[in-house]
Amino acid sequence: MTGFQTLFRKELLRFWKVATQTLTAPIVTAMLYLLIFGHVLEEHVQVFPGVSYTAFLVPGLVMMSVLQNAFANSSSSLIQSKITGNLVFVLLAPLSHWEMFGAYVLAAMVRGLAVGAGVFFITVWFAKLSFVSPLWIILFALIGAAILGTMGLLAGIWAEKFDQLAAFQNFLIVPATFLAGVFYSVHSLPPFWLAVSHANPFFYMIDGFRYGFFGHSDVPPATSLFIVSIFFAVLAGIAVRLLKRGYKLRH
């Protein structure tokens, strides 16, 4: 496990060295979302009975931060290594494809959860939250970070330049996150868009995570956990397969 530990540590140091960009900036962005949306809609929107809109918004922002930063960590690491040419040192090391997968995804989870924790501790002062089921909070935070870390790994494998990676993030990850119920309940949508939201796996991650705070959700949390677990298993299988083949890595 020496190779796994070394690569994992290298990935942690990579984002820690630029913590202002990788940790502080996302927390400030989430804070701005809370101040703007919370101030404008606090008196006009109540999604769950007895839950203020600002309180409803906090878990969504936390989970959105976890997902986006987990994706950013693994995807940016791999594409930078490919473009600068130092990926060869990872490929030459006696690392199995499972060790590579584990190190990249676990480091992405650490960054995503660190940013999510930072967002939570900053925004929790602006709303009164309950913790109905902490276990659901932890489960969905972990599996959400793992899924986006894996998606980032897939994007990094596929992309050959920063433009392609930016397209993957801007046209897939960001829309899927914003349209997953971060700022609203999907039951407020027309039937067509409600059906589209239920086809979005990001929705189940955020909905299940929010259930852990309030005990209210649009979908039963067990159903959400089952769906996202299947989604993760499929993505992980594809990622491990591509790493084993060296797809777009061994040029």
Question: In this predicted model, what pLDDT tens digit does every residue of 223-233 receive, in sequence order?
Answer: 999 999 999 99
- Locate 136 and state its tokens: 């659901």
Domain that holds residue 61: 20-245
In the predicted structure, residue 46 carries a pLDDT above the cut 70? no
Q: What local confidence, expressed as pLDDT, does residue 227 receive?
A: 96
- CA–CA separation, 174 vs 165, rounded Å? 12
In the predicted structure, residue 157 carries a pLDDT above the cut 90? yes
137 assigned to some structural domain? yes
- Least confident range of 1-15, 118-132, 183-197, 201-215: 183-197
pLDDT, mean over the chain: 90
Average pLDDT in the 128-144 region? 93
The predicted model scores a pTM of 0.93
> Considering Cα of 77, then 27, then 151, then 234, what sign does the dihedral take?
positive
In the predicted structure, residue 5 carries a pLDDT above the cut 90? yes
Q: What local confidence, expressed as pLDDT, does residue 45 receive?
A: 65
32 assigned to some structural domain? yes
203 assigned to some structural domain? yes
Q: Which helix (H) or strand (E) holds 53?
A: helix 53-84
Band of pLDDT at residue 3, cut at 50, 70 and 90: confident
Q: What local confidence, expressed as pLDDT, does residue 4 receive?
A: 93
3 assigned to some structural domain? no
In the predicted structure, residue 136 carries a pLDDT above the cut 90? yes
Please name the residues in contact with 167: beta carbons below 8 A apart, sequence gap of 6 or more.
none
How does pLDDT run across 53-109, given as a tens digit for each residue?
A: 888 889 999 999 999 999 999 999 999 999 998 899 998 888 999 999 999 999 999
Domain total in the chain:
1
Nearest partner of 206 among 163, 125, 145, judged by Cα: 145
In the predicted structure, residue 41 carries a pLDDT above the cut 80? no
Task: Tell me which of 145 and 44 has the higher pLDDT.
Answer: 145
9 assigned to some structural domain? no
50 assigned to some structural domain? yes
In the predicted structure, residue 20 carries a pLDDT above the cut 70? yes
173 assigned to some structural domain? yes
250 assigned to some structural domain? no
Written in H, E and C, the secondary structure of the chain is CHHHHHHHHHHHHHHHCCHHHHHHHHHHHHHHHHHHHHHHHCCCCCCCCCCCHHHHHHHHHHHHHHHHHHHHHHHHHHHHHHHHCCHHHHHHCCCCHHHHHHHHHHHHHHHHHHHHHHHHHHHHHHCCCCCCCHHHHHHHHHHHHHHHHHHHHHHHHHCCCHHHHHHHHHHHHHHHHHCCCCCCCHHHCCHHHHHHHHCCHHHHHHHHHHHHHHCCCCCCHHHHHHHHHHHHHHHHHHHHHHHHHCCCCCC
